[in-house]
Amino acid sequence: MSFRASFITLYPEAFPGPLGVSILDRAREDGLWSLDLVELRDFGLGKHRQVDEKPAGGGAGLVLRPDVAAAAIDSLPKDNRPIIYPSPRGVPFSQEIAQNWTSGEGIVFFCGRFEGLDERVIEARNMIEVSLGDYVLAGGEVAAMAMLEATLRLMPGVAGNHASVEDESFSGGLLEYPQYTLPRLWEGRETPSVLTSGDHKRVDEWRNQQSKALTKARRPDLWAAFPHGPELRASETDDEHD
Ligand code: SAM
């Protein structure tokens, strides 16, 4: 069964954007996933199809109305897909969440705008708030597309070489090792000789060690959570970082 992504948005012209190129476009043509858009404005009220109102209690900006948002959500067929509201207040998005989403039927994304969505519809439609990071975007479209892209590329058959998504940052709890290609000498900088030695065991060991060193240096949070990471002797990760 194909994975179905629905986006509720005020800006359908933002789609498919980056979802319409390269491996994701090919996967859509191959029927691995589908995309449909629900235009929030179609459910707006009155002559001007109004979707927003001033915040109760005063303050800056406008808030999306719960009745309009609910009508848009309810126009979709009832199924088991989670309704995701991309929001800076949500749980931080991660590779683990993306991996979990791949086993479902798909996702409904409600793309917020203005000051966001009336709290009551978030509760009434069991929406799950998920954040792309600790900053504020103008709307949920970019966040929703980023989350979907991260999810789709983990699905079997989407990335041409599935090994490439199994062996990359976050998959094993570590950041990826540094990558090199031709030419071997560029602006006086040489590709590490181990990578051109043809010795696959040494290459694997070098990459593993580099991943650990990078993770330890750049992401102490990941390193602390990596099984046995903090207990590894410092010498195992410090010396060969460069
Ligand atoms: N007033 C809101 C707040 O302070 O939490 C921010 C509203 S923002 C201008 C408009 C919309 O952009 C939000 O409703 C949400 O859908 C989306 N958005 C903004 N930042 C986001 C983030 N870091 N992650 C996911 N979605 C985000």
Q: d(Cα 11, Cα 139) in Å, to the nearest integer? A: 10
For residue 183, the CA-to-ligand 1 centroid distance in Å is: 43
The arithmetic mean of pLDDT across residues 220-242, rounded, is: 68
Q: d(Cα 76, Cα 5) in Å, to the nearest integer? A: 11
Convert the pLDDT of each residue in 122-138 to its tens digit.
Answer: 999 999 999 999 999 99
Cβ(137) – ligand 1 distance below 6 Å? yes
For residue 39, the CA-to-ligand 1 centroid distance in Å is: 19
Whose CA is closest to atom 23 on ligand 1? 88
Convert the pLDDT of each residue in 27-81 to its tens digit.
Answer: 999 999 999 999 999 999 999 999 999 999 999 999 999 999 999 999 999 999 9
Q: Which domains does the chain have, with CATH numbers?
A: 3-152 (3.40.1280.10), 167-237 (1.10.1270.20)
Name the range with the highest mean pLDDT among 157-161, 167-171, 217-221: 217-221
The arithmetic mean of pLDDT across residues 155-165, rounded, is: 83
Q: What is the largest CA-CA distance in the chain?
A: 71
> What pLDDT sits at residue 240?
42
Confidence of residue 171 (pLDDT cuts 50, 70, 90): confident
Answer whether the bond into residue 220 is a cis peptide, omega within 30°. Answer: no
For residue 55, the CA-to-ligand 1 centroid distance in Å is: 16
List, in sequence order, the alpha helices (H) in 110-195.
119-124, 141-152, 162-166
For residue 111, the CA-to-ligand 1 centroid distance in Å is: 9
Cβ(151) – ligand 1 distance below 6 Å? no
CA nearest to 145, candidates 38, 16, 37: 16
pTM over the 0.85 mark: yes
Cβ(87) – ligand 1 distance below 6 Å? yes
